[in-house]
Structure formats: structure tokens, C-alpha cells
Structure 1
């Protein structure tokens, strides 16, 4: 929301100051008028806290990840400028050059803060960044923005926005089949089996934390690397070697939030699901009540997990960037981010702090894997008409959409009630959002409330005498009052659980009850089953026999599905700056994986916090559940990237990304779709693991081009032979769409490269005739093969162009 001076007042004020100062702007920075206009855009997008606006103040000096030695007497630290400044392929933050430049940045920050306090005393500073972004988080009165952006040390003001998880509410298929569908076991064998897959690689999960009690986050065969664990040592394990919570200024300064949110433990369940998809340890779920009797694991089951809880309970730009810094500092190899902005992102990539941080993390040797989002085809979420946003638009990130799995599930949490002596069992649906976890098993005296409440019809809308349901499982009819009221009244009468059967009007339809924090476990059953139970209870009452019931959780039901289709909810490209996104797709329409099992209310367990301030709950008493979304496609790709990192520890993030993108499969199910729908295709890890030829960049985006007459556009990629033998390549270009719009040509169709040698290949698109009025897209692939020597079959470098012609 805007506060203080209005947007148009601010625009006028900025322009009045900017124009006279334009001639004094630094040659390094953009012209001052541009800085002021970007500041206006950021001020309109950023969030406010009280009367002040929240910004990341980006400072002029480069961060450690990109510093190329511009400051006199200080050596370069970036891997591009100083390739030797690395440890295990990542930026060495402990080298002399890095430590000296970090000290320099700290001194510059101190001097800037001193001047800031003198000139703008109402600006409040909270947090500093040095590694992937050079800047600080601040609350700024609107009237101070012109002075602040005019400071010679300030490069830009970056907006702070809120983020949301990329999870769909409807559930689907399981992890135990998705690994096979993706071909992961073949790569495990290349690495010495599942018992060695991912060993030594560190995957950072920026999310809601993990449930440290879940068996997928314990592995007694692993020893933490030197210097680990870090963060909350009471929670961290030999598997989850980082347990940190990193909160936004919005949550840190909110007096209404319960201190219980201030934990690295996963209170929501989403982060647990994500982390277990990427690197969960191998577990056998047989014998766990309510779980599917399967053996399963993450894609990289021996990888370490670094857990960075950024949804605590909310996530904003400032703490996400801080978590990226922490993860790079902690030596993570791969980062996973399964979330995106709540509101449409800025159309200017230079104002997107998360994109800047992700790109610079790649320069520091750390690949970020980002969920594309769940916004489907429409309406447009960005200025280019696509539905991707946030860090998913990063050119250096691997952006992942979702495809379908082999199975689906209805996502219903089921339970059963069994009368052992009668040999009678009925199934129903567990209530949600209650205060009590649903037990693995519970035994009690089944009691018909219709018999206890006198003339009332057994609906339990009015209180019963204290102790009238002592230690009983109450059988209650639906109707008149809320499920919460029924369960509360049962609890006050001493019951230990509630079974609610449907009303005459509802019949045998099953419902999922919202218990709204009611204190007992409860399940809902069909009316016919309720009537059967009432009949048994009435008969046993006449016989003066007690009826004991056992209530227990049941495993979820699954059904076959058609695999390798594009999920309808998967976000589409292009990005704001007209780049190809997503990069590829993989299983995301369902995954059976870890969730939290300690409280059905999730983040809403704290009564003093505002209602529904946290993320939606992913809970199951077994600790495992189905879900779907690009949230769970991304960590599967992150696990795949970790296995490639294990195979090729000397490969850069860009090379790992290229191997995954250029080897992607395009089976008939998705071949006809655009690159803006499914990127290069389905993740094909077995092919990527056999690849020894790399194309950089992995795709060619020609962007948006305004054309009114014949024109020519060119883009290039660099091809490198990373094998130990000379290789001869054959290249061809194929237009998949837009053949009437452009001609495509290659600078070379045959190449020979010695081991380690690289060459540049140029793709030229020629527009011979003006395109139709409006927008027209053309796309295709550069296909490269070498007789299966370093390339399995062939790799494909996708390209895309948008032509625009006005009347």
C-alpha cells in the first residue's frame, strides 16, 4: 500500500530533482533520471511498514560473487575474473582476496550508514548483504527517497514483495514410482547404487523448514562434513546439516506473531515434502499406520540437506535474499526454491533482487533450481504475457515446470473404525485442521450420542453432562451445528474421539470436515455405515454388552494416470524480458513424500497470531502424504542436478543446467507443445549423465523484435568437447513453428573439436517479408549429434523469437 506522498507527487518530485542532476551521474551507474524513474517503479511495487517503505538499497560496489578487481589494491574475487578463487568449484569465501574484499565492503557499509544517519535519520536499516548482492534492507520515508537514490553510492532501490508456495491444493501421484518414471535408478547405478547416490553433495532447501523427526531426514550412515551441523544444533541431524530460520523485517517487527514461529522446524509441511523429493533418505513405510506400504527415497538419497526456513511464517524478498547469501556461505552446491511472488513481478529485471541474487549465486558456483509456478496459461502474470514470475525468470536458474506421473490420488485422508468382536469395519474421511493429531490407532468404547442425549436426535449441538462420554468414541449425527461445535461438546463430556455420520439429506456422500481447531480427532462416515453402527450398539445395549472400537488411519488410495503430459497448472513463458521459460518439466502432478505430522493446524496452531497468517498445511499422521505442484517438480530436478554435480564436480552451474536442458526428451505426448509451455522437454537424467558435450547458453532467446521490413537477427552459443577424445559433430536446424515467418541458418553444420576445445556457433533468423500485424512467434531447435561418442543420440538447443508488427 502507498503511504505519505502520492505516486504522481513522487514522480514529479523525482523528475524535478533528476533532470538537473543528469549531467553529474557516474559513468558506471545508469543516468540519474533512469535511477529516479526506477526508484519510482520500485516505490509503487514495494510493501510498506507503517509510514515507511521497505527497500533493499543496492549499493554501487559489486558483491563478492561478481567483483572483478575494480577497487585499487584489492584482488578480484569472482570466479569469472579469478578462477583460482574457488574451493570445490564454488567461490572461496575464506581466501585472502575474499576476506580483504569483504572487509572493504563492511567498511563501505559503515561509512554509508554513518552518512545516512546524519542526512536521513528516519531511515531504519535492518540487514546487510555482501556475497550475492551488495546492499542493505531499510525502511524509508517516502519523502526521503529522492535524496537516497541521488546518493552516489546507491545503485538502485529494489522492491520487497511477499512470496507464496508453488503448491496446488489437489493431490496426486507418488515418489515411489516417480523415480522409476524419470529413469533415476539407471544413474544411481552409475554412481555405485542408491546407497551412494548424491554422497557429498549439499542441497539447500529454502522453504518452510523440514520436520526433523521424519525418517527421511535421518541417515546414521552419514557423517556431517567438517564445520557442520550449523544453525539449531538441537534440530540438525547428520543428514540435515543446516537448520536455520531467516525471517523478514515484516515478521521480526510484527508484535502479534507468536514466538513459536521463530523456529527452524517445519510447522507447515511444504518444506518437508520438497526436501524429501530432492534428497530424502531411503525409507520402508511398511508398518507405519496410514502410510502406503512402499520403499521410497528422494532423487539424491545420500545428499546432505541444508534447511533454510524463510516462510516463518511469511516470506519476503529481504529474507529470501538473506537465505541465498547464507546458503552460499554455508557451501551449498544446489539451491531449491519452490515459491514465487504473490503479485505480478517488476518488468525490469534490474529491480528484482531475488533474480540478481540467484544470478550472482551461479557466479559463485551455486545452481538454483526454481519452481515455474502454478498459474497455468492465463491470465498473464508478467508484462510479456507469461505466467512465470520472480526468480523463475532468472537467466542462470534452472526453471522447472510440472508433468504428470504414473499414478493419481484423490488426496483424501482416510480412516477406518473396526469392531473386532463383530467383524465389522467402516471407512471414512479424517477431519482436518483440528488441534489433535489423528492417532495411528485408538481404542475406546463406542457410544451412540443418540442414546445419551435423551430427546435430542444425536447431533450433539448442546453440551452433555460432564463425564457422560468419558473415554468414549462418540457416534454423532451430522446436522444443525458446525463440526467444531460437535467435537467441542464431545470433548467437554470426556470423549477421546468423534465419528460423525451423514444426515438423512446427505446420505452416503463423504465430506472432509474442517474442525477449526477442535480438540479431538474426528472422522466422517456415510449415513448407511452410521446406521449399521447404531444397529450394533442398540443390539449390544439390550444384551448388556459393551462395544469397543478401534479407530486407525488408512493409507491413501491411488489410481493409474497417463504419464508425461504437461500439468495444466504449470506456469508458462515467456519471462518478463522475453526469455524462454520454463527450461524443462518433470514429475509434479503428484508426489508421495514427507509432510509434518505434529499438528493438523500447521502454522495456525498459535492462538495469539493473526488467523491464516501462515502457509497452507500439509499434514498427515503418518508423516507422508500426496500433493502436487511445480513445488515438487523443482526438487526432483534439484536432486538430478545434485547427481550430475556428483558425477562432474568440476562442472559449473551453467554446464550442469545445459546438460539437463539440452538432453530433455520430447515424447509424442508433449512434442507438439511450445517451448514456452514445457521448455526443452521432459527431464532425462540418464541422457544428461552420459553427456560430454556442453552448449552454452542452453537455449537461445531472440526476445521481442519489432519488425516492419525484412530483417536479420543472430544469436550464438559455445560448444565445448568435455571428453578425452577428439569428436566430430553434425549440426542441423529445425523450425518447429513459424516456418512462414523466418528462415533459420547455422554458421556451421560440421565441426571437429579436440578434447577441451570450444567453438562458437551462430544461429541466424531471417525475416524475408513483414510478419502479420500483431504478435507472431517462431521457434525451433539446433540439433547436434556425434554418433553417440559424447552425445547420447542428439542434444537440442531450443530457440524462440517473437515478432511484433504495428498497423
Structure 2
């Protein structure tokens, strides 16, 4: 979810509770015990989709007793990328279906949540760059199709114009679906080539028919059209066309475009901003199934569930399940990592076949000058675009009762002392998301401005453009507080915001960006990579500006999706795993401009490590020529599933071919990922990896090891020699510890270099000894 939408959802959820207490408003007359269940049957068994649908109806008929009951029960039939269906079932009916031999599992429907200009230049993909730049070599992604699962799209935005684009790719099988205020003949073109919406699963979760509810139209539209803004923002970031004269009230003025401006976009609307809002499991499954059929090359999802604690192909995880089938079809799946940072083990979308993205900042800031009555000046960060205020009174609410008014969230509408003044307050722990309410309170009581002292983060999503609201560091806040306390008549002057770009602004990992280690499979590093996700300017539905700043891993994921589109155009035969490897092994582990360490924002800040950013910040131009890749195919995923404890029959149904796990359970450490994580090193372990040469045919690579503290790593062989006959080589890493006690994680890396290329994988190791009892 982009964080600016979080409060809307909280308020809408309160409304939902009221509605649920009014049974006469419920429009769906289903049995109170019935609920949508997803019946998952693995890979499709019929090339004829009608036969697949018929088989689904037969299963339902056998349990429900009649064809009519089956027709009334089913809401979706999954028949393109995998087999299964979603239907209204009671618990006993779901249990009976789960016991049938062709059924892998049955799970109740549930809701997922959204994660919500300069960035492409920052990433080295400027239109003024030389012809050797990835943007130009890939012809700006022409012909590649990006499928986006989100809140819909605003087709009239200039970001989706089709100027200069050729015909729609002939392999495209999708279409644009009509709906409320959405005419495909006018809305779709050679840029926006597909648009569909999926509402049935969301309706059943709410227990009411949205389309028939007058209140629904106040917040949503039963069509692919976007009323929320999240989907328009993410899709224009990934593949938006050139749109000149874009800005947010004059800030960040310039030409906005997506990462692959000639790529085509297909929108699959699965997320709804009504009542508590969300994205239904069954709708997501159906959308991915349709996208596989339609012919997308990339799936971009800025969506996640709760912090996961289940197996990756677990029946509760619709994104992991459906994306597995997409990846087997050669479709790269890019997902946001979540906005639950800076706390550890919060990263979402943790499957090894998914490319999971953290959020970083870019080299742009919006300084606002704060001038005190004694002529001292400080710089804050803001999006204020109004006039300079002139000198006005500044005040701070000292502690006056049990509620400490120093903290911003404790201000209320009784604080009339703030009238005519600029208010200084401090953010307490966990208060950041409620800041818009604080600003509204200050405005309500007649305040003329707000200065918020907080931990140093770059995020500006909560600062208004029309009201002077400015963020400063805790240190600056303390100096302002001293001035207020010891001045006879404290005054302040607030200037409008400016836009600064350039190297002096270093890269940070955003405080909200979810962190590893992986809570599902600790030996699988997540996130995989970081990309710009702080104060990203992109298109929104029609408004005063048509463009808006948003922050979140929701904004980071489409940056990677756009780069994947360029790589797919340049290297159409690369697998999703090869693309992921190219991105991870060439990422920047330090600031791309200064070489200084990347900082992970938090409380306190720290030097970023692989649990913050995976391989590092995405390096688009490096990824086009990585030299070596850590590739994976169906066999590798089978070994992963075996290592996670899935049996032969479950895996065979999942992949629709005979699968046999080794007699000895494989080690998850040997999954051929472009990273290496050992969560519990007790004795010496040997780990295997295989690299594929995608660089010059005749190449010689040498290993460079930077071991984690107290860890010894030996690589064998230390040199890899490739030629026309040898394109793949396996090697082993023998890892041992010198620690005598259990430690936290320490980090290092392995680089294979031929003097030109440097394929780097992050290494994370924790020594752990069992506790002695008694």
C-alpha cells in the first residue's frame, strides 16, 4: 500500500463494522455458513478450457447435488495457467472436495492489501544517455507487455498516450473490458492494450453486492477505471509514456515517463477502495490466470498479505501459488516487499521465484528554509508551494497533563493556544502514519503552520502543498525548542519549498521498507533488491495536478518491473531466474554516486545490509551484461519444494509432471539463488551453486571472497573457465565458523570477476549453538 492511503482504509474499516451490524443491508442471500473457497488443482490438465470448466462444474455437482446448485455456487474457473475454481461452499462441502484425488487443497478466500521523474535519471536510464545505455539498446521496452495487478487505471492520463508506438503485438490475446464509465473503444489504445476487473471475490468477503449498493459508486467504479490512484501511479511508473510539463504544484517539474516508455500495459483491477478495502485471494488468482492466457511478459504486483509465517506454496498464499505457474511459463513476477519496516522479519512475498523489492531514496530533496527571529536558519523538508509566511509566532505545547502534548498525535481540537501560530511538535514512536490528522487539527484551531521533529527519513507523503507543514530532524527540533523556551517573543518565517537534485543527497533505505530475514524460509534471502520508492512523482486520476508524490514499496516494485521490461526486450530468451540473478549480482551495495555506505533508516539508523536491500540498489545498466547468472528451471524449483517437505504426489500435481524427490531430503541451502544465507551454522557446511556464462564465450573468472566476521569460506574451484563447450560450471563453498558462541548475522559477499564483469552475491551467516539445559 502506498502509505498515504492507509488512513483511508482505517476509516473505511470503521464504516464496515457499522454495516456489518445492520443485517438488513446485506444483499447476498447465501447460506450464512457459506463462504468463498479456492479449490486448487495444480497445473491444468486440459488444453481445452471448456473441458477444464466442465470438470470444475462436475466436481461441484457431485458435492452440491445438482448442476443448478453448481452454477450458482461457482464464481471463477481457473483454467489457463493452472487448474481450479472459486465457489461458495460450507465447511463440510469444502472438506469433501478437499478429499477428492485431483484436488491439491481448498482454502477460504481472504483479502490482501496494497503496499503502496527524477528516479530514472538517478538509475542511469536518461534519454540523453549514449546509445550503449540499456534504455536505448532495449528500444525503451518496445513490444514487451507489463501486466499490473492493482486498483485500476486512469486511461485519459497523458502517461498512457500511444504516440510513436507500433501495432499491438500479434501474440496478445487479451482485451479491454467495458464497465462503469469505461468505454474500451475510447479508453484503450496501443499503449494500454488490456484492462479487466475482478470483483466477485471481494464482494463475497464483504457479504454484500457492491454493484447494487449506491454507496459503492461514491468510492469505486465497477470497471477497470481507477478511483484510488494507486494503480495509475504504479503502472505509469513501470511503463508510462513520455508526459511533458509534469509536476506537483510546480515541484519536480519536467517530463515524466515510465522505466520502459514503449512497453505495453495491461491492467488487472483486483483491489478495491470501498469499506475496509483490499484485494481478494480469489480475484488475484483469477487475474493471474487470465494474464498468463493473455500473454503478458511481466507481472507487477504492489500487493501483499500479512507478514507471512507459512510455506511459500502454502494454500493460504494466493500470490505465491499463482505466480509459481506464471514463472514456469516464463513470466517474471515482481512484487513489493511490504511497508512494515524497520522491524526485522517483516518482508512479504518471500517465494524464491518472486523478485521482491525494497524501497530506497533517490538523489532529490525538497528543502524548505526555516528562519528564526534571531536570523538563525535551518533547512527542513516539505512539499509546501505557497507564499513565504513572513515572521509569525512559533509555539511548542509543553507537557501540561497526563497526555504529553509534546508529541504530535496528542494535539487535539481543544488546543486553541495554537491559533495564529506555527506549532512545533515531536513524533513519538509509531506516530508517523497519523500525522495528517495532526496537520488537520492545527488547521482547525487556526494554526498557521506545523514543524514536525522526527527521526531523519526522506518520506514527504504526509506534508501538504497548501499548508506550511515541514519535517526536521530531532536535533534541529531540539534547537528550535531551545529558541522557543528562551526567547521573549519567538518568531519564525517559513519559505516555499525548492527542488534540489544531485550527488550530495545520498541513498537511504526507507524506514517503512520491510526487512528480512525471511520469516517463512530463513535460508532464502529477502528482499532481493532495492529500488526508488520514496517521494516518487507519477500519474494519478484527474485532479488539480494529475501527478502526485507517493512513497512505499508499492512505488519501488514498478521501477524494477520497468527495468525487467528493458532486459526482456534486450534478452528475450532469459528466464525469470536469469533476469533476477542479473539484477541482484550487479546491484549497488554502496551509494551509486559517492561510494559511501547506504544507510538503512530506522530507530536508530544503521549501515544497510542484505536484509534491508538484498543485493543492493538496482543497477539497470549493469544488469544488461552481468557476465554470469545463477539460473533456475523447473527441476530447481522441484528440489526447493522437496527441501521444504512437499511430497512427490503434491509436487507432481503442482507442476503437472512426475516428480521424485531424492531419498535424502535436499538442503535448502543448495537452491541456486544469487545469494547465500545460512541461518544456523553449527558445523562446517558445503553449499553448491551453478553459474551460466552469458558473457563472452571464452572467459576466465576468479573468485573474490569477503567473508562475514568470524566466518571462513573456501571456494572450489577458485577459477572458472568457459568456452564454446562449457557454458555452465558448478562450484562449492565450504563454510565454517570460528565463533564459540551463538551470534547475530554477519554479512559478506562472493564476487566472480573476469576483470570486466563482477557477479556479486550477498552472504549472510549466523552461528548458532544449541542451548545446554540442566
Q: TM-score, normalised by structure 2?
A: 0.66
Cα offset, 1:246, TM superposition: 1.5
Q: Supply the distance in 1 between the matched residues of 2:510 and 2:329 (Cα, whole angstroms).
A: 33
Which position in structure 2 is the counterpart of 1:430? none
- What corresponds to 1:747 in structure 2? 716
SS in 2 for 1:197: helix
**Ranges in structure 2 where 5+ consecutive residues have no aligned partner:** 1-29, 179-183, 367-380, 391-417, 421-439, 453-463, 469-494, 591-595, 600-606, 632-671
Aligned twin of 1:487:
none
Question: Are residue 322 (structure 1) and residue 262 (structure 2) matched?
Answer: no
* Aligned equivalent of 1:785: 753
Shift of 1:641: 0.7
In 2: Cα distance, 1:49 partner to 1:343 partner: 31
Quote the Cα distance in structure 1 between the aligned partners of 2:312 and 2:133: 43
CA distance change for structure 1 residues 666 and 116 in 2, over 3 Å: closer, same or farther?
same
CA separation in 1, counterparts of 2:389 and 2:51? 71
Q: Which of 545, 549, 570 is 2:513 aligned to?
A: 570
Regions of 4+ moved over 6 Å: 119-123, 286-289, 500-505, 522-526
CA distance in 2, matches of 1:224, 1:591: 29
Q: Aligned-pair distance for 1:181?
A: 1.1
Instruction: Count how many residue pairs are aligned between Structure 1 and Structure 2.
Output: 565
Q: Residue 699 of structure 1 is aligned with which of 641, 664, 674?
A: 674
| CA gap 1:525/1:802 in 2 versus in 1, 3 angstroms | closer
- 1:632 is the counterpart of 2:555: yes
**Does 2:148 match 1:205?**
yes
Q: Secondary structure at the match of 2:577?
A: helix
733, 737, 740: which one aligns with 1:764: 733
Contact 1:203-1:305 within 8 A present in 2 as well: yes
Tell me whether 1:131 sits opposite 2:80 in the alignment: yes
Structure 1 residues 655 and 126, CA gap change in structure 2 (3 angstroms): same
**Residue of structure 2 equivalent to 1:261:** 221
Change (3 A) 1:188 1:357: farther
SS at 1:643's partner residue? helix
Q: CA deviation at 1:134?
A: 2.2
* Cα deviations by residue, 1:703-735 (Å, 9 ceiling, x for unpaired): 54474xxx3333322211224531111123322
Distance in 1 between the 2:619 and 2:627 partners?
A: 15
Q: Does 1:221 align with 2:167?
A: no
Task: Report how far residue 570 of structure 1 moved.
Answer: 0.9
Shift of 1:653: 1.2
For residues 691 and 130 of structure 1, the distance between their equivalents in structure 2, rounded to whole angstroms, comes to 37
Aligned 8 A contact 1:188 1:197 in 2: no
Aligned to 1:63: 43
Change (3 A) 1:187 1:271: farther
Give the match's secondary structure for 2:340: coil
Q: 1:461 is matched with which residue?
A: none
SS at match of 2:327: helix
Name the residue aligned to 1:240: 192
Verify the 8 A CA contact 2:627 2:759 in the aligned structure 1: no
Match of 1:401 in 2: 358
SS in structure 2 of the partner of residue 230 of structure 1: coil
* Residue aligning to 1:109: 56
**1:617-766 equivalent positions in 2, closer than 5 A:** 620-667=543-590, 668-670=596-598, 672-696=607-631, 697-702=672-677, 704-705=679-680, 707=682, 711-723=683-695, 725-735=697-707, 737=708, 739-740=709-710, 742-755=711-724, 757-766=726-735
Name the structure 2 match of 1:586. Answer: 531
8 Å contact kept, 1:401–1:571: yes
Tell me by how many angstroms 1:562 deviates: 2.4
- 1:152 is aligned to 101
Work out the CA distance in 1 between the residues paired with 2:236 and 2:444.
43
Task: Say if 2:47 is the partner of 1:99.
Answer: yes
SS at 1:321's partner residue?
helix
Describe the superposition over 1:540-573 as per-residue Cα deviations: whole angstroms up to 9, x where unpaired.
xxxxxxxxxxxxxx99753567232211111111
Rounded to whole Å, the distance in 1 between the matches of 2:246 and 2:765 is 52
Measured in 1, the distance between the counterparts of 2:614 and 2:359 equals 11
Q: CA deviation at 1:590?
A: 1.7
Q: CA RMSD in A?
A: 3.8
1:721 and 1:755 in contact (8 A); partners too: no
Residue 748 of structure 1, CA deviation: 1.0
Q: Which residue of structure 2 aligns with residue 375 of structure 1?
A: 340
CA distance in 2, matches of 1:126, 1:594: 33
Counterpart residue number, 2:263: 303
- Quick one: distance in 1 between partners of 2:537 and 2:123? 15
Which runs of no fewer than 5 residues in structure 1 stay unpaired?
A: 1-47, 68-97, 168-174, 381-385, 417-423, 427-476, 480-499, 513-521, 527-553, 598-619
**Alignment partner, residue 33 of structure 2:** 51
SS, match of residue 109 in structure 1: helix
Cα 1:676–1:137, aligned 2, differ >3 Å: closer, same or farther?
Answer: same
Residues 178 and 152 (structure 1), Cα distance of their counterparts in 2 relative to 1, 3 Å cut: same
- Is contact 2:679-2:766 (8 Å) kept? yes
Tell me by how many angstroms 1:764 deviates. 3.3
Tell whether the 8 Å contact from 1:161 to 1:316 is kept in structure 2 after alignment.
Answer: yes
User: Alpha-carbon deviation of 1:777?
Assistant: 2.8
Distance 1:196 1:344 in 2: 38
Q: Note the C-alpha offset of 1:287.
A: 9.8
Distance 1:187 1:163 in 2: 42
With normalisation by structure 1, the TM-score equals: 0.63
